[in-house]
Structure 1
Amino acid sequence: MTRQPKGAKPNVTVSSGKLSVVPGSNKANGVRDKLTYRVEIEQGVSVNPAAVAEAIHKTLTDPRGWQAVHPVSFERTDSDDVDLRIIVATPTLTDKLCLPLDTGGEVSCRVEDRVVLNAKRWMYAVPAYGGDVALYRSYLVNHEVGHALGHGHSTCAKAKTPAPVMMQQTKGLGGCRPNAWPTIKAT
């Protein structure tokens, strides 16, 4: 194993263009309509695949998440027959997988059965989240899966309140506060 120099940033930019399915599964924790998904990660991206899959499932099954507002329960599998493919990819591959959308190497997307999470954002979040990468990751998952559930973009309705999860928070907060959860509303 080659060691990176001290202080080196993990790879999120050198694209192999090849995806690997994260092995394993997590059962749905509800009795509602089951939505199956698998997690795929671009080969060469410096993440722990099992930890990524765990973070995604934890977000999707959190009581503040979509299961609280939609008649759906999420189940992870590593089979080919799934409703959604949740993919963590370099900006280069994200741009390709998101076509015809223009992600400019900066944002994530949902196209057809693909929820594509930009590895750059997964690793480093955005400044508006003040270094809370875990919270931003939950936002990223909930926002893009929200599109798969039929939700469009929204805007900040009232300054200093939680941003709607369907707001494009990666591009700015418009005076709102960071928020990763569809059940948390402006007050």
Structure 2
Amino acid sequence: MVLGGTTAAVSGGLGRPQSTAARTPPPEAPPMLDEPAAQPAPTPGPPASRPKLRARDRAERDRTGRAPAGSRSTRDAMGQAGVRIPAGGSGKFVVTAPPGNSADHAAGAGELTYTVEIEEGLPFAPTVTARTIDRILDDDRGWATVAGRTFHQVAEAGELRMLIATPETTDVLCAPLRTNGEVSCRNGDLVVLNARRWAFGTDDYQDAVPMYRTYLVNHEVGHAIGYAHADCPGPGERAPVMQQQTYGLDGCRRNPWPNVG
């Protein structure tokens, strides 16, 4: 059930959510996707009109021919606690009110503001989800320590929009990059987190979904502040947060934080 908040409708074209106020864009960087070589895709229509993909085409392949870890898992159809993630949604998002007296907050140097928005119909409590994202971005193991960037949740006109979207809406918002209903992306001022991954993680994180969520937020926000993908430094070492851990660990140990010290 969706509680409170305001909604922003997905517009036509690339399907970006309508903006009701001017935003200051984050530092320029190309849109990044959790796959190594995204290819341009035809501009998709609204989520409701998108054709369903064949089973063998549902996951984009990386350079070794692997699909994202867990992409064919039965968890995608029925969650570990009976949670269901619909393939598509309305394309409208509920904006979660920030905690505390956000209006009295004094922005510091290097700070980015953001909204937390959940697509209607998804089974995630808005307040709990926003608190989770806030704690991840405020942690000493995060980008504040590594890159000197801090983050502050606002009710509107954020410089970044943290969107949790159904797989089909993720495809629309990430275009022209391909997500094929399986992975997440950062596209302009949008940080689009695939609800399937938020709910179920991947095979490498199937026993630690909260840890995967931490990785997912830090990875995509890392792209938003200018960081590119990284490789596993060696067997048994901790995976860099900018490694594409959704596709597998390549011999590294899982790690959701930018600061691996």
Match of 2:82 in 1: 8
Partner-residue secondary structure (3-state), 2:89 = coil
1:111 corresponds in structure 2 to: 187
CA apart distance, 1:120: 0.3
Between the aligned partners of 1:139 and 1:41, the Cα distance in structure 2 is: 18
Higher relative contact order (CA 8 A, sep 6+): 2
Letter in 2 for 1:11: I
Given residue 91 of structure 1, which amino acid in structure 2 is its aligned partner? P
Task: For structure 2, list consecutive stretches of 5 or more residues without a partner in the other structure.
Answer: 2-80
Deviations 1:71-108 (A, max 9, x none): 221100111x2110000001000010001110111110
The alpha carbon displacement at 1:12 in A equals 4.0
Corresponding residue of 1:4: none
- TM-superposition CA deviations, 1:105-159 (whole Å, max 9, x none): 1110000000000000000000111410110000000000000010011111111
Partner of 2:175: 99
Aligned counterparts of 2:121 and 2:201: Cα–Cα separation in 1:
19
Asked whether the 8 Å contact 1:117–1:140 carries over to 2, the reply is yes
TM-score by length of 1: 0.89
Distance 2:126 2:200 in 1: 17
One-letter amino acid of the structure 2 residue matched with residue 141 of structure 1: V
Residue aligning to 1:136: 212
Aligned residue pairs total 179
1:38 corresponds to: 115
Match of 2:56 in 1: none
Match of 1:47 in 2: 124
1:90 aligns with 2:145: no
> What's the secondary structure of 1:69's corresponding residue?
helix
Check whether the contact 2:200–2:206 (CA below 8 A) recurs between aligned residues: no
Identity %: 45
Picking from 149, 152, 155, the partner of 1:78 is 155
Three-state SS of the structure 1 residue aligned to 2:117 is strand
Structure 2 partner of 1:60: 137
TM-score (norm 2): 0.65
Is the 1:25–1:78 contact (alpha carbons within 8 Å) kept by the matching residues of 2?
no
- CA distance, structure 2, for counterparts of residue 72 and residue 32 of structure 1: 8
Unaligned runs of 5+ in 1: 2-6
Match of 2:253 in 1: 177
* From 69, 78, 93, the counterpart of 1:19: 93
Deviation at 1:31, TM superposition (A): 4.1
Structure-2 separation of matches of 1:136 and 1:47: 16
Counterpart code for 2:95: V
RMSD: 1.9
- Rounded to whole Å, the distance in 2 between the matches of 1:180 and 1:59 is 10
> Once the 2 structures are TM-superposed, how far is the Cα of residue 30 of structure 1 from its aligned partner?
8.3
Point out the more displaced range, 118-127 or 68-77: 68-77
Measure, in 2, the Cα distance between the counterparts of 1:146 and 1:73.
12
Residue 24 of structure 1: CA displacement?
2.2
Residue identity matched to 1:120: R
Partner SS, residue 138 of structure 1: helix
